[in-house]
Structure 1
Amino acid sequence: MKKTNWLLLVLALALSMFLAACSGGSDESSDSADSGDSSDTEGSSEASGEQVLSLMDTADIPTMDASLATDAVAFQWLGSTTDGLYRLGENGQPEPGVAKEHEVSEDGLTWTFTLREDAVWSNGDPVTANDFVYAWQRAVNPDTGSEYGPYMMGGVIANATAVADGEVPPEELGVKAVDDYTFEVTLEKPIPYFESMTTFGTFLPMNEKFVEDKGEQYALESENLLSNGPFVMTEWSHGEGWKLEKNEDYWDAENVQLEEINVKVVKETATGVNLYDTGEVDRVNLTSEFVDQYRTSDEFSVKEEPTLFYLKMNQESDMLSNVKARQAVQMVIDRQSMIDVILNNGSVPAGGDVPGNFAKHPETEEDFREINGELVETNVEEAKKLWNEAKEEEGMDSVELEYLGGDTETALEMDAYLKDQLEQLEGLTVKVTSVPFKERIERDKNMEYDFQNAGWGPDYIDPNTFLNMWVTDGGNNHTGYSSEAYDGMIEKANNELAQEPVERFETFLEAEKLLIQEDAVLAPLYQRAQAQLWKPYVKGVMAQPMGPDYTYKYAYIEGK
């Protein structure tokens, strides 16, 4: 879903769960979901010198299986090695991938994609319509265990929910290979942003024979992967890094200038800065203590992202099942100090569940965030009052709650700050459990936490990508929240009002107020920005608002 465009880092990602992308929410900071300012993409410069890009990430790739990926790290490298129907290009706009063009029926329900005939897999097999049919059916097949398949396709592709629920076989999904190079999709209802969705990682094709031959080992090692995109993953040393090489058989190889992308896993920012200063890597995300040091450098840049971070609160916890307790958590955290002292990277306090500068009113062009304003405020005295009332209602004098955190240097710093803020509430002891990124994803899915610092970047450009997460039993909900009123608003916006843009937008505004102000499902923290250093010889990198944080297809090195 998200990108992620969660996405997308600084202290930021080292701590959350941008499952993916984030969009979906991954929880690493630094480069795990980095989406900072890209290097210069303008001018008439040309590639010169060795075409090798050296990068860092703070976490290993959990999986390269597009059906199972849920985080920004996986979606970044899936998007770099695989073309879907479309891919994100300049200014975050879809551009041709395997699809050359498409037609939409008058009722908006049938999308017919014409595929190019020169797209091949890295084993020489042609990329055909069946590769999309197989991958999309696999993503919603309950036997696969995909989170994003049912989440992204449910209510979108005809019969996706019924397939995911085991009511009908995967073959009933609304996808069909008319012939090798004609792919037909039947939607459940008109989806105005569907073209944008097809760029997301969950919708990538798969070579059925290769996947089935590899079985449980598919996508776990570089030799168990196939590519049809700009790059091929040729090395993958788990926990240490990976290497991509130019795919010489790519249909658009003439426009790919990089020969290699090398990625190191580096969890400590100081180590990363040292690697940057010594020329071993070409980009580094800066945490607070380094921002002031490098702010005047010509290589310093900051870019705001449509990626939000917030505390998720497990409503199956006795104390956090109480709405007053959750409202107290929202109010006790000083977001501005967190931004100024801990992040210091251009991030801004989050006021709700939809980021600023992301979605505009279809008539007035006003920004969603400006219309709804700040739905949370810092008020420690009121927070303490609400907390004490909640304790009395729940019959508790003291409470110990687990805070699920990350294991990177920056994650530990942010988690310590939030623990201190939360323990201003009388009788509350916060136990921080710091685990690797991959384990956090699993614990989130199983709701093995009380508090969790999580992040989300958009999977497509629409408020629904943020608000639809919190419907009852939503694939990425994992909070225990269930509200008939909230479900009804989201259902109405996406069905009855699907072709009524003004009413639909205003319904989303009301839904956000219910989610944050009244039900206090989340404690919004901040909207991320990236403070970064980029080597000036790196050109043509495009930062994206969703899916992969960056497009490297057009990147090149000039004059290194």
Structure 2
Amino acid sequence: MKKSKLSLLLVLSLVLSMFLAACSGGDKKDTSKSDGKDTGNAEQLADKQELNVLESAEIPSMDSVMSQDTLSFTTLNATNEGLYRLDPDQKVIPGVADGMPTYNDDKTVITIKLKKDVKWSNGDPVTANDFVFAWRRAIDPKVAAPYGAYFMEGKIKNASEIVAGKAKLEDLGIKALDDNTLEITLVRALPYIESYLTFPLFYPQNEKYVTAQGADYAKDAAHLLYNGPFKMTKWDGPTGTEWVLEKNADYWDAKTVTLEKINFNVSKDPQASANAYTAGEADITPKLAQAAILSQFEGQKDLLRYQEPSIWWLKMNEKNPALKNVNIRKAIALSVDKKALVDDVLANGSIAADFLVPKGFSYLDGKDFRDTAGTYLKTDKEKAAELWKKGLAETGLKEVKFTYVGQDTETSKVTDAFIKDQLEKNLPGLKITIEAVPFKIRIAREDAEDYDLLMGGWGPDYADPMTYMDLWVTGGGQNHMSYSNPEFDKLIKAANEDLVAKPQDRWKALQDAEKILLEDDAAIAPLYQRSVNILINPKVKGFAHHAFGPDYSYQWIKISK
């Protein structure tokens, strides 16, 4: 997901709004995570169950169909609920669904029963039709949902045909058999279908309410409905720098929700966030990146650190004639000293990435995807200079000017300045202009391919390496850099279709595709796999962070005395 829906989403603090937090790994024991069970017997709870949280960006959208970034997804995860969700241990558990799915023999038809006691915040029952309506809206070409086609084409029956104008919305492979029974038909079996269905794009929407609101739907807190653990009682829309969530007494599992209120405020300056935490004005900070800040808390119980499966990279827009040249792209990818970036600039536990699919995320028969995959585009400044010279000769250029789109957080500015310095120093004749913009604008610039270089990244949307690999298919909904390679497309298609029932062969196809993308084409320049560092009040118990989808869940939090 960007950081994506995908959206996300830049290099650390604000970037957090776009991509996913990994639960596995890390170099500091996470004592803030619980199993979601009542800890009141072990510790006395505070009289006031109110949490203060800082975020590094404004919420771009609260429309689950239109959202494409992690901050939006995380907030939706708190206020709404789909068929399934992740528990604190990354296990898929029922949400609105009444139990796990049942399948036909070839696992292409899924039947899901819904709970009968789930309500919207206006009192309406949540029914199977709410899912049908939302899914059809997500794939409707007129709506142009950022994640709709990307998530459904080739997976949900007739989604591709609807996008191509060859089928009607009513033909989409989702039916309400009755108010409490949903039937989903897939193009073919998906090995990751259950984690896939936790994603916010697949949340329900109340057709009558959405239709009545029209263009005003989701413009602010007063124009939304909720069926999750919390209700949003304050939010002025995408420019709002503060918002409030309060416990939803009508949530079907409200008895497990202890928090009464969560106050969110935007803080784009990491030092200001740390200062607010120290002053007792915040219980949870945004993801912090700057070494000088982290050193103040190193070794303290307030600092939560863990490795997440999100990868950060430079996107290179091949609409620019210079970036259409593979040698120029390779030169850029080899020029940045990744070790210096993670050790000296970030200095937060992140690791250099010479790969796309992250370490510690995807496993087959107990083996990490990376154990049998290669490494690509390792820093090599001499080779970069050779390829740069060759690329300039091939394009007839003597100097090149690029517009580099980054974000407006302090952390992003420092990181982007380092990358600019590395590229200009190692590639003679290159001049880079950095444009630091707010997160929502960065997403819009990426979607419109209005950039030459762009700092972006991705955290997984579901538990499979495909969540990284199919981003780059020709014309794909998240490509946004005019990259195309028929052989890459062929491998991804095979991994999505013919090889689904052959896991070892499917794994090999995805690894071969990664090699084409990076070593052969240098379509993107991978930089690092991020380590998360946040400050969290030790009195906050039950904080859950996730390996894919929304970053966090707040519903199991309890505040002790």
Separation (CA, whole Å) in 2 of partners of 1:553 and 1:395: 59
CA contact (8 A) 2:374 2:515 kept: no
The equivalent of 2:344 in structure 1 is 341
Matches within 5 A, 1:340-359: 340-359=343-362
Shift of 1:434: 1.1
Shift of 1:373: 3.5
CA contact (8 A) 1:311 1:523 kept: yes
CA contact (8 A) 2:245 2:261 kept: yes
CA contact (8 A) 1:38 1:542 kept: no
The equivalent of 2:396 in structure 1 is 395
**Secondary structure at the counterpart of residue 355 of structure 2:** coil
Matched AA of 1:306: P
The equivalent of 1:248 in structure 2 is 249
Shift of 1:213: 0.7
Matches within 5 A, 1:444-455: 444-455=446-457
CA contact (8 A) 2:34 2:88 kept: no
Matches within 5 A, 1:532-547: 532-547=534-549
**CA shift digits 1:361-387 (9 cap, x unpaired):** 33xx32112322421211111101100
Shift of 1:38: 6.9
Separation (CA, whole Å) in 1 of partners of 2:216 and 2:411: 33
- Aligned partner (choices 481, 484, 504) of residue 479 of structure 1: 481
**Secondary structure at the counterpart of residue 183 of structure 1:** strand
CA contact (8 A) 2:5 2:147 kept: no
The equivalent of 2:520 in structure 1 is 518
Which residues of structure 1 form unaligned runs of 5+? Answer: 3-16
The equivalent of 1:113 in structure 2 is 112
The equivalent of 2:25 in structure 1 is none
The equivalent of 2:471 in structure 1 is 469
Which residues of structure 2 form unaligned runs of 5+? Answer: 23-29
**Percent of residue pairs identical:** 41
Matched AA of 1:427: G
1:82 and 2:75 aligned: no
Separation (CA, whole Å) in 1 of partners of 2:558 and 2:545: 15
Separation (CA, whole Å) in 2 of partners of 1:47 and 1:113: 37
**Secondary structure at the counterpart of residue 90 of structure 1:** coil
Separation (CA, whole Å) in 2 of partners of 1:129 and 1:61: 28
The equivalent of 2:316 in structure 1 is 313
Tell me how large the CA RMSD over aligned residues is: 1.4
TM-score normalised per structure 2: 0.94
1:415 and 2:419 aligned: no
Shift of 1:305: 0.2
CA contact (8 A) 2:33 2:88 kept: no
**Secondary structure at the counterpart of residue 516 of structure 2:** helix
The equivalent of 1:385 in structure 2 is 386
The equivalent of 2:45 in structure 1 is 47
**CA shift digits 1:170-224 (9 cap, x unpaired):** 1110110000000100001111111111110100000001101111111110000
Matched AA of 2:509: T
Separation (CA, whole Å) in 1 of partners of 2:209 and 2:45: 35
CA contact (8 A) 1:28 1:59 kept: no
The equivalent of 1:92 in structure 2 is 90
CA contact (8 A) 2:102 2:112 kept: yes
Residues 500 and 40 of structure 1: CA distance in aligned 2, closer, same or farther (over 3 Å): closer
- Aligned partner (choices 544, 547, 550) of residue 548 of structure 1: 550
Separation (CA, whole Å) in 1 of partners of 2:79 and 2:153: 26
1:302 and 2:302 aligned: no
CA contact (8 A) 1:28 1:437 kept: no
The equivalent of 2:27 in structure 1 is none
Shift of 1:532: 2.0
**CA shift digits 1:72-105 (9 cap, x unpaired):** 1110101111110001112211111000122111
Shift of 1:20: 4.1
**Secondary structure at the counterpart of residue 475 of structure 2:** coil
Shift of 1:46: 5.3
The equivalent of 1:104 in structure 2 is 103
**Secondary structure at the counterpart of residue 415 of structure 1:** helix
**CA shift digits 1:339-376 (9 cap, x unpaired):** 011111111011211000011233xx321123224212
Matched AA of 2:79: T
**Secondary structure at the counterpart of residue 281 of structure 1:** coil
Separation (CA, whole Å) in 1 of partners of 2:31 and 2:198: 20
CA contact (8 A) 2:64 2:201 kept: yes
**Secondary structure at the counterpart of residue 177 of structure 2:** strand
CA contact (8 A) 1:140 1:150 kept: yes
Matched AA of 1:299: D
Separation (CA, whole Å) in 2 of partners of 1:20 and 1:305: 18
Separation (CA, whole Å) in 2 of partners of 1:149 and 1:526: 28
Shift of 1:513: 0.5
**CA shift digits 1:130-184 (9 cap, x unpaired):** 0000000000000111110111111111001111222211111011000000010
The equivalent of 2:122 in structure 1 is 123
The equivalent of 1:171 in structure 2 is 170
The equivalent of 2:325 in structure 1 is 322
- Aligned partner (choices 494, 497, 501) of residue 495 of structure 1: 497
- Aligned partner (choices 11, 19, 24) of residue 4 of structure 2: 19
Which segment drifts farther, 131-140 or 415-424? 415-424
Number of equivalent positions: 540
Matched AA of 2:544: M
Separation (CA, whole Å) in 2 of partners of 1:252 and 1:366: 37
Matched AA of 1:90: P
Matched AA of 1:300: L
Separation (CA, whole Å) in 1 of partners of 2:212 and 2:467: 35
**CA shift digits 1:292-347 (9 cap, x unpaired):** 12102221221000011000000111111000011101110000100011111111
Separation (CA, whole Å) in 1 of partners of 2:556 and 2:10: 28
TM-score normalised per structure 1: 0.94
Matched AA of 1:178: L
CA contact (8 A) 2:21 2:459 kept: no
Separation (CA, whole Å) in 2 of partners of 1:86 and 1:72: 18
Separation (CA, whole Å) in 1 of partners of 2:200 and 2:434: 32
Separation (CA, whole Å) in 2 of partners of 1:166 and 1:347: 44
Separation (CA, whole Å) in 2 of partners of 1:226 and 1:29: 31
Which segment drifts farther, 539-548 or 120-129? 539-548
1:62 and 2:87 aligned: no
